Structure 1
Amino acid sequence: MHSDKSKSQKGKWRIPEKTLFITALLLGSPGILIGMYLFRHKTKHKRFTIGIPLILIVQVFIFAKYFSF
């Protein structure tokens, strides 16, 4: 998130949103969520403010279900 925000401020090539969501799906959702609010990046986009926490919740549910005995 820091890298993408820095690039956006400098008018350089950006990280595609699709890539950020794929990273979240590949267990990067905690880092992306923290980065969103730490760097105030993508926090006005409903797609991110709803999508990333939703991905995290689903991942936590899956892991809890998988690792519960």
Structure 2
Amino acid sequence: MILSSLAPALVVLYALVNAGVFCLYGYDKRAARTGRWRIPESTLLGAALVAPFGACGAMLFFRHKTRKLKFYLVPVFLAAHLAAILYLAGVPVPALG
């Protein structure tokens, strides 16, 4: 199966993308403190949709964007990614309701 042979590379790629998003949030926090150009919130949310583990980790680590209501979506993105990862790994995900 092709997907199983690509799995290690996909895991590494996913981890690298999440690390990049973590750094993106860190850069924006530093820019906020020093009065430099900021990354638009729509870009940060889009990055969180793709890599929520890095975004959520950065929000907690840097204490960045934690009070903005729209950034409450980041844990929702994380839960969706986690459910997809468990599904792809063959772990049964209990139904809600």
Identity of aligned residues (%): 33
Matches within 5 A, 1:1-69: 1-26=25-50, 28-48=51-71, 50-68=72-90
Unaligned runs of 5+ in 1: none
Unaligned runs of 5+ in 2: 1-24, 92-97
- TM-score, normalising length: structure 1: 0.84
1:31 deviation in Å?
1.0
Once the two structures are superposed, what CA deviation does each residue of 1:13-69 show, in whole Å capped at 9, x if it has no partner?
10111111221222x211111111111111111211x20000000111122122217
After the TM superposition, which segments of 4 or more aligned residues of structure 1 sit over 4 Å from their partners?
none
Letter in 1 for 2:29: K
How many residue pairs get matched?
Answer: 67
- TM-score, normalising length: structure 2: 0.62
Q: What is the RMSD computed on CA atoms of the aligned residues? A: 1.4
Q: For the residues of structure 1 that align with 2:48 and 2:66, how far apart are their CA atoms?
A: 15
